[in-house]
């Protein structure tokens, strides 16, 4: 029995907390598993597992050894994948999660273009604004906005999310065109409750400089869904801040009018996030390169 086999057996026992379950997973007998663990402990000169009649658990030394074993086995797996995938056409299935609004509006077009270039790659796409542990849940990539603080992940910036303040032509016909920020005290503001850029916070930075207070502004709609705010803005309900990927075509058609173009709203970065220690197979490298080039061309 090789050392690698012993490590795999030990890892399987720690994960399952049971010799019988580990034996089933490995396709051997429980006695063979017990013999391998005993031999490993004897060779190392340290007890790795606490044994009871119903379960086993790692000792302090065993827990430390387990973490190193996991890294070793993962490195072996990645090395095998590297050789297997070498110079092979990208193929397989990618699991990707993305923010709901961005995903609905952008990814259909991106995936269509990608599929034409890489017909052997398919997708499982999960749309959600709920933060997901992509390492634990087995995703290849996540498309996210803003900062990334998880040390287990790599975040590659691919685009900037620009924001515009806008209103519909119908709204402006009824309520008039605000010429300066103070004029907003006489207008209706639409707020996305879960997006910092779209709350009244986009005005706060200018409050002192322009001598007006936000408390006097009528907030006609506050909702936690940007699509509803977008539809309300189009329908003439009020003024709001929208990402350009939502508002751009309506600004070009004239349905929406950009207000205060001189006001600079801080942009947020769109990032492709993926596990730091996971080998990037050809299919993953193809997607990462494609989406990076896609946004570079779009924002050129």
* Overall domain count for the chain: 3
**Cα–Cα distance, 299 to 226 (Å, whole number):** 23
Do 244 and 179 sit in the same domain of this protein?
Answer: yes
pLDDT attached to residue 182: 78
Whether the Cβ atoms of residue 58 and residue 69 lie closer than 8 Å to each other: no
The 10s digit of each residue's pLDDT in 113-163 is 999 999 999 999 998 877 788 888 889 999 988 766 777 888 898 888 888
Do 55 and 197 sit in the same domain of this protein?
Answer: no
- Strand ranges (DSSP E) for the chain? 49-51, 56-58, 92-98, 121-127, 141-145, 153-161, 163-168, 188-192, 218-223, 240-243, 256-259, 268-275
Do 80 and 97 sit in the same domain of this protein?
Answer: no
Q: Residue 208 is part of which domain span?
A: 163-259
Helix runs in 48-179, H state only: 60-85, 100-102, 108-117, 169-175
Do 231 and 176 sit in the same domain of this protein?
Answer: yes
**Cα–Cα distance, 171 to 300 (Å, whole number):** 32
Do 151 and 174 sit in the same domain of this protein?
Answer: no
- Of 68-77, 112-121, 122-131, 199-208, the one with minimum mean pLDDT is 199-208
Do 116 and 195 sit in the same domain of this protein?
Answer: no
> Which of these three, 67, 85, 103, is where a domain ends?
85
pLDDT attached to residue 42: 92
* CATH number of the structural domain spanning residue 47: 1.10.10.10
Nearest Cα residue to 166 out of 189, 183, 199? 189
Dihedrals φ, ψ of 22, to 5°? -65, -40
| Residue 200: pLDDT over 60 | no
Do 58 and 102 sit in the same domain of this protein?
Answer: no
Do 149 and 280 sit in the same domain of this protein?
Answer: yes
pLDDT attached to residue 85: 63
Do 227 and 282 sit in the same domain of this protein?
Answer: no
């Amino acid at each position: 029995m090789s050392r690698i086999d012993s490590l795999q057996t030990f890892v399987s026992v720690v994960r399952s907390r049971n010799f019988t379950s580990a034996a089933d997973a490995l396709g051997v007998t429980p006695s063979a598993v017990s013999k391998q663990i005993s031999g490993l402990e004897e060779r190392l000169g340290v007890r790795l597992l606490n044994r009871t009649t119903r379960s086993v658990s790692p000792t302090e030394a065993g827990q430390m050894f387990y973490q190193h074993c996991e890294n070793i086995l993962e490195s072996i797996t990645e090395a095998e994948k590297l050789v297997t995938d070498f110079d092979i056409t990208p193929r397989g299935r990618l699991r990707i999660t993305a923010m709901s609004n961005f995903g609905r509006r952008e990814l259909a077009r991106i995936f269509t273009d990608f599929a034409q270039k890489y017909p052997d790659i398919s997708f499982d796409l999960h749309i959600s604004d709920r933060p997901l542990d992509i390492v634990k849940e087995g995703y290849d990539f996540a498309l996210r906005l803003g900062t990334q603080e998880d040390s287990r992940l790599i975040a590659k910036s691919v685009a900037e999310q620009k924001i515009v303040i806008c209103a519909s032509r119908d709204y402006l016909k009824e309520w008039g065109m605000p010429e300066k920020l103070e004029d907003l005290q006489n207008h209706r503001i639409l707020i996305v409750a879960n997006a910092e850029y779209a709350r009244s916070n986009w005005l706060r930075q200018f409050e002192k400089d322009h001598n007006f207070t936000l408390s006097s502004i009528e907030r006609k709609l506050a909702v936690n869904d940007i699509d509803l705010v977008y539809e309300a803005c189009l329908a003439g309900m009020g003024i709001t801040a929208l990402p350009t990927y939502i508002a751009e075509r309506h600004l070009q058609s004239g349905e929406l009018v950009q207000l205060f173009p001189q006001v600079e709203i801080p942009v947020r970065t769109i990032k492709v996030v993926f596990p730091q220690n996971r080998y990037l197979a050809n299919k993953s490298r193809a997607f990462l390169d494609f989406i990076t080039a896609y946004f570079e061309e779009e924002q050129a």
